[in-house]
Amino acid sequence: MFDNLSDRLGNVFDRLRGRGALNEADVREAMREIRVALLEADVALPVARRFIDAVTEKAIGQDVLRSVTPGQQVVKIVHDELVEMLGGAAEDGGSAQAEGLNLNARPPVVVMMVGLQGSGKTTTTAKLAKYIREKHGKKALMASLDVARPAAQEQLAVLGTQVDVATLPILQGQQPVDIARRALESARLQNIDVLLLDTAGRLHVDQALMEEMKAVAGVSAPTEVLLVVDALTGQDAVNVAQSFSGEVPLTGVILTRMDGDARGGAALSMRHVTGKPIKFAGTGEKLDALEAFHPGRVADRILGMGDVVSLVERAAQTIKEEDAEALARRMAKGQFDLNDLRMQLKQMQNMGGIGMLAGMLPGMKKAKAAMAQSGVDDKVLVHMDAVISSMTPKERARPELMNARRKKRVAAGAGLDVQDVNKLLKMHQEMARAMKQIRKMGGFKGLAAAFG
C-alpha cells in the first residue's frame, strides 16, 4: 500500500532533515517534489494542489524555519495534512465510533452495499458481516438482491457459511425490492441486529441501476449505504463514487484491493473529491482481510512511521501477554538474542508473515529489503526455527559465538546449509539494530507520541 509515495516522500524528508537550517527556497523545492510524488500516486490534481498550498503556508511560517529542528517540523506538518486529506482526525474518533459504522439505531439496522460488478462487493459484504459479528458481537443476516448476475445469490450463501453468518433463503424469480422486504421481515422475526443487503452491480453506472438502488433504499431505510470500489482503478474509483453519491445517500466508501495498490490515488483523493469518508479497506482475498480505515494510522504508514497502533492491536490478538511483557522488558534493556528472535518468528507466523509485519513496523523497511535480498520469505521462517532449535542455549543467548565450526554443526543438525545459518544470523543483526532504533526513539510508546 502506498509504497511508491512512501519511498518518494522518504527521500524528500531525508534531505530536509539532513540540513540543519532551512530557508523558504528549500521548503518550496521540497514541496515541488512532493507535488510530483502525489501526482504520480494518481492523486487528483485539485487535491494535490490544495495539499501543497496548505503545507507550504504552514511550513514557511517563521516559527518553523527558525526552530531547532525545521526538517522534523515540516514532516509533522505534512503528516497532519495527510491525515486531513485522508479524512481527518475526527474519523479516528473514540473506540465505539472507531470504525465509523452507525450500528446503534433500532434493530434491525440495515447496511446497504452498493457498487459496480467486480468491485469486490459480495466478498466485502461477507467480510463486513464477519467483522460485525466478531468485533461488535452483533447478530447479522445477509441477503443478496443481485438477480442480474447468475449465481450471485448462491455466491453469498457460500460465503455466509464460511463466515458463519446466516443468509436469506433464495426464492427464484423474486425481484430486488421484494427480496429487501422479505429480508427485513425475516430479520425482525429472528431478532437480527444488522441486516446487510448486497445489491446488484453493473458494469457501468447506469440509470436503471440507480433507480433500483433508490427503490431498495426506499423500502429498507438503510442506516449505512456503503459504496464498494476497487482502489486499483484509481481516479475511476473516485468518479464512480461521485456518480453514486449524486443518486443514493452514501454514508461511506469501502476501498477494496488496497493490498495490490502501490499508488494510493483513490484513497488519497476520495474524501476531498466526494466528501465521503473511507470507512474500511479490503486488504486481500481472505475473508478476514478487512481493516477499519484510520486516517491517522494510514498517514503514519505512508510516512514510514509504521502503523504502530495497528501492529500493537494485531499483536495483542496473537501474542500471549507474558511473552509480550518479557520481550518488552528485554528490549528496554537493549537485549535481543536468538531466543527473542525465535519468539518473534513464531509470532510473525501467527500474525500473517513477514511482509505484513515489516510494512507496519517503523524502521523495518530497510530490514525488510535486506530480508528480501537474502531471500527470506515466509517458508524460510520454518527453516530459521529449525536452525535456532539446533543451537545450544549458550549459542542462542550469545550469537556472536557462532564460528565456522559451530555453524557447520548447527546446519547439519537442522538438515540445512551453512548459508541458511548465515541468513539467520544476518537477520538477527538487522532486527537487533531495528530494535535499538525503536528503543532510542523511546520505545513504541515514545514513537507513537512523537507523531500523535
Of positions 71, 87, 108, 201, contacts ligand GDP by CB under 6 A: 201
Helix (H, G, I), strand (E, B) or coil at 104: coil
Of positions 10, 284, 413, 443, contacts ligand GDP by CB under 6 A: 284
Q: Which residue is nearest to ligand GDP (CB)?
A: 282
Of positions 259, 337, 385, 417, contacts ligand GDP by CB under 6 A: 259
Region near ligand GDP per CB under 6 A, out of 35-43, 281-289, 372-380, 395-403 = 281-289
Q: Cell 430486488, residue?
A: 176
257 binds ligand GDP (CB under 6 A): yes
Q: Cell 531495528, residue?
A: 434
Of positions 35, 79, 121, 407, contacts ligand GDP by CB under 6 A: 121
Count CB-CB contacts under 10 A for residue 432. 19
Region near ligand GDP per CB under 6 A, out of 20-28, 265-273, 279-287, 311-319 = 279-287
Q: Kindly state the smallest distance separating residue 351's Cβ from ligand GDP, in Å.
A: 19
Measured in degrees and rounded to the nearest 5, phi and psi for residue 285 equal -80, -20
Q: Kindly state the smallest distance separating residue 148's Cβ from ligand GDP, in Å.
A: 11
Length of the chain: 452
285 binds ligand GDP (CB under 6 A): yes
Region near ligand GDP per CB under 6 A, out of 23-31, 113-121, 173-181, 318-326 = 113-121
Q: Indicate the residue among 259 and 385 with the shorter CB distance to ligand GDP.
A: 259
Of positions 46, 61, 93, 118, contacts ligand GDP by CB under 6 A: 118
Q: Using an 8 Å Cβ cutoff, are 3 and 265 in contact?
A: no
- Establish whether 119 is an annotated binding residue: yes
Q: Indicate the residue among 124 and 220 with the shorter CB distance to ligand GDP.
A: 124
Which long-range contacts link 411-419 to residues 24+ away (Cβ below 8 Å)?
Answer: 411/387, 414/383, 414/386, 414/387, 414/389, 414/390, 415/386, 416/383, 416/386, 416/387
Q: Kindly state the smallest distance separating residue 201's Cβ from ligand GDP, in Å.
A: 5
- Establish whether 122 is an annotated binding residue: yes
- Give the whole-angstrom CA distance, residue 252 versus residue 449: 29
Q: Residue 134 has which C-alpha cell?
A: 466478531
Region near ligand GDP per CB under 6 A, out of 93-101, 117-125, 185-193, 371-379 = 117-125
- Give the whole-angstrom CA distance, residue 45 versus residue 59: 21
Q: Residue 433 has which C-alpha cell?
A: 539494530
* Contacts with 307 (C-beta within 8 Å, 6 or more apart), sequence order: 297, 298, 300, 301, 359, 360
Region near ligand GDP per CB under 6 A, out of 173-181, 251-259, 341-349, 364-372 = 251-259
- Give the whole-angstrom CA distance, residue 48 versus residue 62: 24
Q: Indicate the residue among 229 and 388 with the shorter CB distance to ligand GDP.
A: 229
62 to each of 4, 12, 74, 302, 311, how far by Cα in Å? 31, 21, 12, 27, 37
Q: What is the DSSP string of 209-269?
A: HHHHHHHHHHHH--SEEEEEEEGGGTHHHHHHHHHHHHHS---EEEEE-GGG-SS-HHHHH
- Give the whole-angstrom CA distance, residue 376 versus residue 75: 32
Query: Which residue type occupies 449?
Result: A
Q: Indicate the residue among 269 and 283 with the shorter CB distance to ligand GDP.
A: 283
Q: Residue 98 has which C-alpha cell?
A: 472507531
199 binds ligand GDP (CB under 6 A): no
Query: Which residue type occupies 27?
Result: V
Q: Cell 464460511, residue?
A: 162
- Establish whether 257 is an annotated binding residue: yes
Q: Kindly state the smallest distance separating residue 5's Cβ from ligand GDP, in Å.
A: 19
57 binds ligand GDP (CB under 6 A): no
- Establish whether 3 is an annotated binding residue: no
256 binds ligand GDP (CB under 6 A): yes
- Give the whole-angstrom CA distance, residue 75 versus residue 89: 17
Of positions 6, 56, 73, 122, contacts ligand GDP by CB under 6 A: 122
Per rule CB under 6 A, count of chain residues that contact ligand GDP: 19
- Establish whether 202 is an annotated binding residue: yes
Q: Using an 8 Å Cβ cutoff, are 364 and 438 in contact?
A: no
Q: Which residues form the interface with ligand GDP (CB under 6 A)?
A: 115, 117-124, 201, 256-257, 259-260, 282-285, 289
Please state the residue numbers annotated as binding site: 115-122, 198-202, 256-259
Please state the residue numbers annotated as binding site for GTP: 115-122, 198-202, 256-259
